[in-house]
Structure 1
Amino acid sequence: MKEYLIQFKPFLLFLAKFAASYLVLTFIYQSYLNQFDVAKMEVDGFTKVVAQQSQKVLSIFDTNSYTESNFKEASVKLYYKGKWAARIIEGCNALSIIILFVSFIIAFTGKLKPTVLYIICGSVLIHVMNVTRIALLCVALDKFPKYDSLFHDLIFPLVIYGVVFLLWVIWVNKYSFYAEKPAAK
């Protein structure tokens, strides 16, 4: 048994770091969300920010874009061309994707400064992509409403998860302690 533990130590260490960081970050996020009463239609502040930033991006395409509170559910209504285009719920804010991204980076640790910088830059990139995704989804659904499931459920998630996967690959191959170092001359 001891030889298996030694043999699989890197994998088990990765798994332990990933699970621990994911659970801690999810607990923190859930504690944050528990401050808001969904029954009273309260929306968390970060989801409101994502909706407002998406509206700002939409205003590039149309000046008649705006947000308003939804009094029937815990969400923010996003309008494009004066029409209700999307409802922004907690799941639209990409924080769960950022938690997954950060947990993976922590699990494949590198030096402290590059790790922290990569986590910050990667998280900002994911956030910007998500805001852009929401805005472009509204534009796409305005032009092609019959493809709503294709855009919302397949194309846009594929793009954002594809970028997260690419960020992971870059991290593991360039910056983590597992990255191959160039041979000294």
Structure 2
Amino acid sequence: MKGLFIKYKAVIKFIFTFLVVYIGLSLLYSWYLDVSDGSKYYPDFITNLVSIQSDWLLELFGYNVEMLPHPNEPSMKVVVNDKYLARIIEGCNSMSVIILFMSFIIAFTGKMKSTITFVALGIVLIYVANLLRIVLLSMGLYHYPEYKHVLHTVVFPAIIYGMVFLLWFVWVNKFSKRSKG
């Protein structure tokens, strides 16, 4: 047993670190959601910010947009040209994806400066990709409502998770302690 532990020490360390960081960040985010009462920023600050920025980007593309608090659930209704298209829920704000991204990078560590810089840049890229995903999804739902299921469950998750996978790939091959360079 000891021989297996020694042989797979790096893998075990990666899995343990990943789980500790992922659970820790998830608990911290869960606490944030618990203390967010939605009285000032509905349903919570981050989801509200994503809604405002999505609204701004859609209007930049020439759409008349309203982001309205949903009366029956903690979400924002996306209304484009007086047509209710979708809702932005807490799960649409990219935080769970950012937590997953950060956990992997920290577990597959590199030099401290590289790790901090890559995590910060990765967070920004994931956040921006998520905003663009919401905007493109809204535009797609407006013009092609018959493709709602494919757009929401296949195409647009592929964008955000594809971005994360690409960032992980770059990290492992260029910046982690296990990279060749």
- Report the TM-score range of the alignment, normalised by the length of the smaller protein: over 0.9
- Report how many aligned residue pairs link the two structures: 178
Aligned partners of 2:79 and 2:86 also within 8 Å:
yes
Secondary structure of the residue that 1:62 maps to in structure 2? coil
Instruction: Please name the residue that 1:103 is paired with.
Output: 103
Deviations 1:100-120 (A, max 9, x none): 000000010000111001001
Whether the 8 Å contact between 1:51 and 1:76 is mirrored in structure 2 is yes
4+ long deviations beyond 3 Å: none
2:52 is matched with which residue? Answer: 52
Alignment of 1:50-129 (within 5 A): 50-129=50-129
Written as runs of structure 1 = structure 2, the 5 A alignment for 1:1-185 is 1-37=1-37, 43-181=43-181
Q: RMSD between aligned alpha carbons? A: 1.2
- SS for the counterpart of 1:34 is helix
Q: Specify the SS of the correspondent of 2:87.
A: strand
CA distance in 2, matches of 1:63, 1:141: 13
TM-score if structure 1 supplies the norm length? 0.92
Using the size of structure 2 for normalisation, the TM-score is 0.94
Q: Percent identity, please.
A: 43
Alpha-carbon distance, 1:15 to partner: 0.5
Measured at CA, do residues 154 and 63 of structure 1 come closer, stay the same or move farther in structure 2, by a change above 3 Å?
closer
1:37, distance to aligned residue in structure 2 (A):
4.9
Deviations 1:113-165 (A, max 9, x none): 11001001001110001111111101111111110000000001012111110
AA matched with 1:99 = I
Shift of 1:49: 0.3
* Structure 2 SS opposite 1:96: helix
- List runs of 5+ in structure 1 lacking aligned partners: none
SS of residue in 1 equivalent to 2:52: helix
Q: Aligned partners of 2:128, 2:83: CA distance in 1, in Å?
A: 24
> Deviation of residue 10 (structure 1)?
0.5
Q: Residue 56 of structure 2 aligns to which amino acid in structure 1?
A: K
Supply the AA of the counterpart residue of 2:100.
L
Give the unaligned 5+ runs of structure 2: none
Q: Do 2:58 and 2:135's aligned partners in 1 also have CA atoms closer than 8 Å? A: yes
Residue type of the alignment partner of 2:128:
V
